[in-house]
Amino acid sequence: MYAGTDWSAVLNRILMTLAVLALAGGALYALIGFFFAPHLVERKLEATLGQGSALTVAIEATKVNPFTLTLSLDEVTLFRRENPPLVRIGKVDARIRAVRLSQRALILRDVVFRAVEIADIRHQEPFLTVPSITTEDLVIELSTGALSAETARLDSPRFHLQRVADGTLNLPLELTSLLPQPAAGGTRFDISDGSLEFTDRSMPAAVRLNIEDLDGTIVRRTTGRETATAISLMGRMSDMARGEITAEWFPSRARDAARVEVSVHDMDMAALSPYIAAVIGRHIRAGRMDLTMQLLLEESELALTNWLVIRNLQLGGSIDDGRAPDLPVDLAVALLEDRNGEIATRVPVARRFLNSDESPVLVFANALADYIAAVAATPLERLAELAGRPDLDLSRFAFPAGSADMADDSRSKLTALDQALELRPKVGLTVYPGFDPETDRDALARQQIRLHVNLATSAVAPDRAADKPIDFGDRKVRTVLDEFVENRLPQWQQAGIADRFPDRDTAYYRAIFQALVDNEEVGRSTLERLARYRAQSIVEELVSAGSDSSRIRLAATIVSLAPDEAADGVVRLEVRPQDQAPAASERRL
């Protein structure tokens, strides 16, 4: 039946037919892939991405290679109607990994976004420019327009952050909707070699800060109904300062919740002068700062700890603003700055609930102002603590009544004070001479009467005569006292003493002596001279111990103790910044 059939020719015809069909199929596949697929993909992407971001999406050109399964988009823009573009993407290259019709999802791999620019249409300025963003896998949900990715890498992003005059930031309102949704395990954004330029035009003098070499990660993740964002970034300031921030917050929670740790190393404080001046009322001319701050915010309850180190601080003038605080900054700095020109301290911040109009930054600023005021309010207590003697009262120094020779406890105080002054070289002192109008007057009167008696009855040297005890049983002493009685005591007082001591014994002459003391005239000039000697002895003691005399001044004002003040603390000290100009009532030594 098949005899004579040319099977070779049949086979050739079959192969030819298959080849024609294959070529036709390939041509059709190529035709669809190269010419029809780009239009279909472009329309679908524009509709899908626009749905996901509530923006209009325009793609200038779409290319699909059906053989290599690559997708290329040129000049992708996202914008609102009649507004400038919010997002521009110069080019997108990707490989088509799969199309899941059941899930209505397009899965791309090795996606590269080139020349990306995100703008803030309110201020007509760029917010972010990125030469390239890469991600290994990008899932586009065709039904919702949502994007999701596990990782994305931003190479050399440039952030341009501004705060305008009304206090608002140039953050694009739609920025959150543009970000890919977290994948099942979260989405990680890796930032490499980035930079941030911050300009604050809301301050009286515009503030400009630059951060270079910005590296780190931003992770967005969703667990159940809770969404969390974690940030870990580090960078270098334009003046070689370094900064790090680690933060995590939970925007999905009904009440505020966040954990933040910020570290700034070797920051130029002059660059922050407008902000610092608003808190302390003084400009900053120079200084370097390290700041470490930990913040925990849970259901509006704030816990904030910090450690602040300031080096080589130079204060400027007061700010010309009626709302600026008037704080004793110079004195606080003098009490805190050590011999190396460094201030290392912790600003106490009480744990508290935040009001709706408060922020952690405002709470810290207020705590800093309160801390400065508290330090300056107790300067002598601070110096006593520095000397390791917090129990000492360095405000007053004791002297024996009528004497300029310090008591032993005063010398102990001066030793501690000298140690504290050595640790705080910018602290100056003003010494106020003082006397007790009662005890010092009585002591000086006693010295004067004793001097006269001893000079008249013995050969003791004049400089010792005032201190030599009187022997009321001595005949010569009694004779001299009898003469004094006749010349210095009125008759009624003499008669009163004689009536009380008719035997004219030792008790009688002791009473005579006391009456002479009570009647002795001691002028105020004598008391003031004693007060000056006392103050001078304080100064000399400090200078001999090594304190610079330029740090210590004598006040012209002489303090006369009130009746309710302790008589053993007649000389008063006042702490001031060393380089403060002397007042009219002071004089340099």
Q: What distance in Å separates the CA atoms of residue 233 and residue 243, rounded to the nearest whole number? A: 8
- For 349, residues 6+ apart whose C-beta sits below 8 A from its C-beta are 304, 305, 306, 363, 364, 367
User: Which letter does DSSP use for residue 35 in this model?
Assistant: I
Q: What distance in Å separates the CA atoms of residue 353 and residue 468, rounded to the nearest whole number? A: 70
Q: What distance in Å separates the CA atoms of residue 406 and residue 398, rounded to the nearest whole number? A: 6
Q: What is the 3-state secondary structure (H, E, C) of 161-206?
A: EEECCCCCECCCCCHHHHCCEECCCCEEEEEEEEEEEEEECCCCCC
Q: Are 420 and 387 in contact (CB under 8 A)?
A: yes
Strands 352-353 and 301-318: antiparallel
Domain 380-589, CATH class in plain words? alpha beta
Strands 342-345 and 301-318: antiparallel
What does the pLDDT read at residue 29? 46
Let me know if 68 is exposed, middle or buried by CB neighbors in 10 A (0-12, 13-18, 19+). exposed
Using DSSP, state whether 296 is helix, strand or coil: strand
pTM: 0.80
Using DSSP, state whether 292 is helix, strand or coil: strand
Strands 571-577 and 396-397: antiparallel
What does the pLDDT read at residue 418? 93
Of 468, 478, 469, 486, whose CA–CA distance to 507 is shortest? Answer: 478
Q: What are the two backbone dihedrals, phi and then psi, of residue 584, each rounded to the nearest 5 degrees?
A: -65, -25
Q: What is the mean pLDDT of each run of 10 residues along the chain (589 residues)?
A: 58 63 54 60 68 72 78 83 77 82 74 87 75 87 72 91 76 58 72 89 79 90 75 86 89 70 93 89 94 90 94 91 83 96 95 83 92 96 94 90 88 92 94 90 90 77 69 87 87 89 90 90 92 93 89 86 65 85 56
Beta strands in 299-375 (DSSP E): 301-318, 342-345, 352-353
| Tokens coding 31 | 């035709």
Domain map of the chain by residue range? Answer: 6-238, 252-259+277-377, 380-589
